[in-house]
Amino acid sequence: MDHFLYRDGELHAEDVPVAEIAAAVGTPFYLYSTATLTRHYRLFEEALAPLPHLICYAMKSCGNLSVLRTLAALGAGADVVSVGEYLKARAAGIAGERIVFSGVGKTREEMRLALEGGIRQFNVESEPELAALNEVALALGRRAPVAIRVNPDVDARTHEKIATGRKENKFGIPLSRARAVFAEAAALDGIEVVGVDVHIGSQLVDLAPFEEAYGKVADLTRQLRADGHDIRRLDLGGGLGIPYERSNAVPPLPTDYGAVIRRTVGDLGCEIEIEPGRLISGNAGILVSRVIYVKSGEERDFLILDAAMNDLVRPSMYGAHHDIVPVREPAPGTEAHPYDVVGPVCETGDTFARQRPLPPLAAGDLVAFRSAGAYGAVMASEYNMRPLVPEVMVNGDQFAVIRARPSYDEMIKRDSMAPWL
Which residues of the shown chain bind ligand PLP in the complex (CB under 6 A)?
58, 61, 79, 102, 162, 199, 202-203, 237-239, 275-279, 374
Length of the chain in terms of residues written: 421
* C-alpha dihedral (67, 71, 76, 79), degrees to nearest 10: -10
Residue of 56, 62, 270, 346 with catalytic role: 346
Asked if 264 contacts 302 with a C-beta cutoff of 8 angstroms, the reply is no
The per-residue DSSP string of 41-108 comes to HHHHHHHHTTS-EEEEEETTS---HHHHHHHHHHT-EEEESSHHHHHHHHHTT--GGGEEE--TT--H
Cα–Cα dist 399/21, whole Å:
8
Q: Residue 122 Cβ, how far from ligand PLP at the closest point, in Å?
A: 12
89 vs 342, which CB is nearer to ligand PLP?
A: 89
CB count in 10 Å sphere of residue 284: 31
Q: Residue 4 Cβ, how far from ligand PLP at the closest point, in Å?
A: 20
> Which amino acid, one-letter code, is at 321?
H
Cα–Cα dist 64/87, whole Å:
12
Phi, psi of 161 (to 5 degrees): -75, -15
Q: Residue 19 Cβ, how far from ligand PLP at the closest point, in Å?
A: 30
CB count in 10 Å sphere of residue 348: 8
Q: Residue 100 Cβ, how far from ligand PLP at the closest point, in Å?
A: 9
147 vs 389, which CB is nearer to ligand PLP?
A: 147
Q: How far, in whole angstroms, is CA 233 from its chain's centroid?
A: 22
Vertex 312 angle, CA 123 and 345, to 5°? 135
> Which amino acid, one-letter code, is at 224?
L
343 vs 376, which CB is nearer to ligand PLP?
A: 376
Q: Residue 147 Cβ, how far from ligand PLP at the closest point, in Å?
A: 11
25 vs 67, which CB is nearer to ligand PLP?
A: 67
Q: Residue 155 Cβ, how far from ligand PLP at the closest point, in Å?
A: 16
162 vs 320, which CB is nearer to ligand PLP?
A: 162
Three-state DSSP at 173 gives: strand
Q: Residue 272 Cβ, how far from ligand PLP at the closest point, in Å?
A: 14
27 vs 36, which CB is nearer to ligand PLP?
A: 36
Is 346 in the active site? yes
241 vs 326, which CB is nearer to ligand PLP?
A: 241
Phi, psi of 139 (to 5 degrees): -60, -30
Q: Residue 61 Cβ, how far from ligand PLP at the closest point, in Å?
A: 4
Between the alpha carbon of residue 356 and those of residues 30, 212, 245, 336, 413, the distances in Å are 22, 37, 12, 9, 40
Vertex 155 angle, CA 194 and 380, to 5°? 80
Find the radius of gyration of the CA atoms of the chain: 23
Cβ-proximal residues to 24 (8 Å cutoff; 6+ apart), any chain: none
DSSP element (H, E) containing 146 = strand 144-151
Three-state DSSP at 314 gives: helix
25 vs 150, which CB is nearer to ligand PLP?
A: 150
Active site residues: 346
